Homo-oligomer: A and B are copies of this chain.
Amino acid sequence: MAKAKKQPRPRAETPKGFRDYFGAEVTERQAMLDTIAGVYRRYGFDPLETSAVETVESLGKFLPDVDRPNEGVFAWQEDEEGKRGDWLALRYDLTAPLARVAAQYRNDLPFPYRRYAMGPVWRNEKPGPGRFRQFYQCDADTVGAPSVAADAEICAMLADTLEAVGIERGDYIVRVNNRKVLNGVMEVAGILDPDDPSKHEAERGIVLRAIDKLDRLGPDGVRALLGEGRRDESGDFTKGAGLGEEQVDTITAFLTARDAAASDLSSGKVTLTPGSMFGGIFDKAGAQDLYEVSDRIRELQSSPMGRHRLQNHATLAKLVALVEPSETGMAGLEELAQMADLLLSQGYGPDRIVFDPAVVRGLGYYTGPVFEAELTFEIVDDDGRPRQFGSVAGGGRYDDLVKRFTGQAVPATGVSIGVDRLLAALRAKGRTGGSDRGPVVVTVMDRDRMADYQAMAAQLRAEGIRAEVYLGNPKNFGNQLKYADRRNAPLAIIQGADERDRDVVQIKDLELGARLAESASLEEWKSQPAQFECPRAELVARVAERLARE
């Protein structure tokens, strides 16, 4: 007998590094995206949705730690009637597509172009625990705005957004740095020659990656990576940048400027400049004369907010002393001071937004201010150890990204929120993740009366009540109630032949039943019946009443 050849069964598995999201995981993310979009819109940003697929050429190569071509992205080559065509790839972020759009529609868009975008991005990386190859970003960018007023606005909006989604003030901090300051320090350390930026490129890459690991490795680990290299706990050796002692000292002093300033503060070695809090620094010749005690400092030190302000101020002064020889570095510090000025005048003090010389941001395209939002509360990690939650958003200025396409400089700045991480943080804090209430389940006592049961569900839905008829095999009634439980159904509706003849229905309150089963006394059982009968005509009214009560 002829029989179709048997194929081996496919494996029912998500590809490595990908995952599925069920129920409340989906609705909570959508609710968060809606909230974020609401804040972005209020700031004047307009939505843009680009396709998931871009040409590899237009995406460019800006991912960190990526040297080989097409590494880091999922890419394939077009097959055009047998001929090989363009290389296409899944976007790895929402910024590269924006740069393409800004170039492609440069004559049609209003500039400055404020746009927000949300959606999945893909990274072809080695998956790890909690590390997925598809994740959501929610970005806002301003293209065509040269001044740091745009960067300051983005930072303020980032703080507002975090609070809007439920991260309380004090539980997050937006840390701001500037690539020009980083470049200034590397100039001072002798690994960046402004006249020939192609020199020392490899060393600078290692240095930036080392700085980025300060949180995890501490100053000593970073020092090792700046020098000869570092052997980790597993015995693996990471080759360092090979810098000399003095160079390492310069960069370490830069990184630890905040701590050094803090210790200056506590020993009373800091003073204030006239003029505005930060801008004032640049009205003076140097920073040496800042280190004196004053009454104003004592006053500031008496409040937490005041201490934050002093801390920022003193850090900036330290940095001025360090990068003064570099024009680029001083320009970066000036930008930082201007941003702080604008933010302070709108009430965004260092309790929400601070400088931090250790902020690098991995992506290769940043040219000016860079920032990231970190959650400061502790969570318990998978190994049961408490740790800081860490970064949930980042961004910065990337003035050359549109220029890649057009040859004309187009300044741009923006932020990207890692929505999945932010959701995980809220769940870890217990601020979301309540299980979804399921539908009212209409059970099936008599399979020939399916039309009657469907009519009950339809009537409930017409009143806006989530409802469904059990559609599995109705033979075993216990299975129907088990199903209702698994669906988190608040109520089950039952109408057998007897109820049908008397034109009534049974309403079983599963939520109440579960609560009573846990704790109730016999009296309570009697006074709050978890199952009751009502005329069929009153079904909708009684269900609505019960649901409102729960």
Contacts and interface: CB of A to CB of B under 8 A. Distances in A.
Interface stretch (A53-61, A367-375, A379-387): A53-61
B472 A50 contact: no
Interface residues of A, number: 105
Nearest to A407: B9
A93 to B, nearest CB: 15
A42 B464 contact: yes
Interface in A481-502: 483, 486-487
A20 interface: yes
A120 interface: yes
A101 interface: yes
A461 B347 CA distance: 14
A258 interface: no
A147 interface: yes
B451 A20 contact: no
A523 B144 CA distance: 41
Interface in A245-297: none
A55 B346 contact: no
A44 B346 contact: no
A539 interface: no
B345 A120 contact: no
A1, A29, A145 — most chain B CB neighbours (10 Å)? A145
Nearest to A459: B346
Contacts of A76: 74-76
Given A439-B44, A454-B149, A51 B20 contact: yes
A52 interface: yes
Nearest to A12: B103
A525 interface: no
A466 B43 CA distance: 6
A450 B342 contact: yes
Interface in A452-474: 454-455, 457-458, 461, 464-473
A486 B113 CA distance: 11
Given A20-B101, A153-B471, A461-B43, A26 B48 contact: yes
A46 interface: yes
A486 B110 contact: yes
A150 interface: yes
Q: Is the interface of A mostly helix, strand, loop or mixed?
A: mixed
A18 B86 CA distance: 14
Contact of A471 (B3, B88, B149, B404): B149
B134 A466 contact: no
Contact of A144 (B51, B114, B439, B472): B472
A196 B42 contact: no
A21 B119 CA distance: 13
A349 interface: no
A260 B454 CA distance: 33
Interface in A437-452: 438-439, 441, 447, 450-451
A134 B53 CA distance: 9
A215 interface: no
Contacts of A43: 439, 457, 461, 466-468
A50 B88 contact: no
A104 interface: yes
Given A25-B49, A53-B133, A341-B451, 5 more contacts: A9-B407, A42-B461, A75-B76, A111-B483, A112-B483
29 contacts: A3-B198, A4-B197, A9-B405, A10-B55, A10-B58, A10-B405, A11-B55, A11-B57, A12-B405, A20-B105, A21-B47, A25-B49, A26-B48, A42-B461, A42-B464, A42-B465, A53-B133, A74-B88, A75-B76, A76-B76, A110-B487, A111-B483, A112-B470, A112-B472, A144-B471, A152-B454, A345-B451, A346-B454, A346-B455
